[in-house]
Amino acid sequence: MLVLRTSAPLDAVARLARERVGAVDPELRVTRVAPFAKLLQGPLARPRFNAFLIGVFGLAALFLAAIGVYAVMGAYVRQRYPERGVRVVLGALPSDVRLIVLGEGLRLAAAGAAIGLAGALAAGRVLRGLPFEVPPLDPVSLLGAPLLLIGASALASYLPARQAARLDPLVVLRSH
């Protein structure tokens, strides 16, 4: 097997390699010439597929987490309708109500991210040998994952916040 690194066209390299190998030993034949990237496709197919599956499962987990945050925040906002109605009657603007609900959702998400980050830091020493060419305390991963979850939580909290801001305080106060 002969590996060459060149920027020349593959046909020209193949012709030159056949000539030079034939000059060294006429009994040797160059039977196959292929780009190096094509040679790597076979051995890397399974790790790429595994990485793809992990990515798909990670996105599914993020989606399910966002649905869970949405459901929790929706129930939390519905339980506190009377409080929101009183705030609006006392002069709170819809934007104030929306910011309060978003702030509560983001505080919960930040607390969860902090707990998860502490767990990741603690588990980093145990998992030191598992990730390939990625340090267990990779700053991009340690900051990216919590920021992604907080962003998803902000989006999931926005709909209940918008719904709380649209409440008619008289209807809410009369019903409770």
User: For 4-48, how does the pLDDT look when each residue is reduced to its tens digit (9 = 90+)?
Assistant: 778 888 888 888 888 888 898 888 888 888 887 777 777 778 888
The structure's pTM equals 0.64
Query: CA-CA distance, 20 to 53, in Å (whole number)?
Result: 45
Two structure tokens written together for 22: 């034939």
pLDDT-based confidence at 169, cuts 50/70/90?
A: confident
Residue 107 CA to its chain's centroid (Å): 20
pLDDT-based confidence at 129, cuts 50/70/90?
A: low
CB 153 within 8 A of CB 106: yes
Three-class DSSP labels, 57-72: HHHHHHHHHHHHHHHH
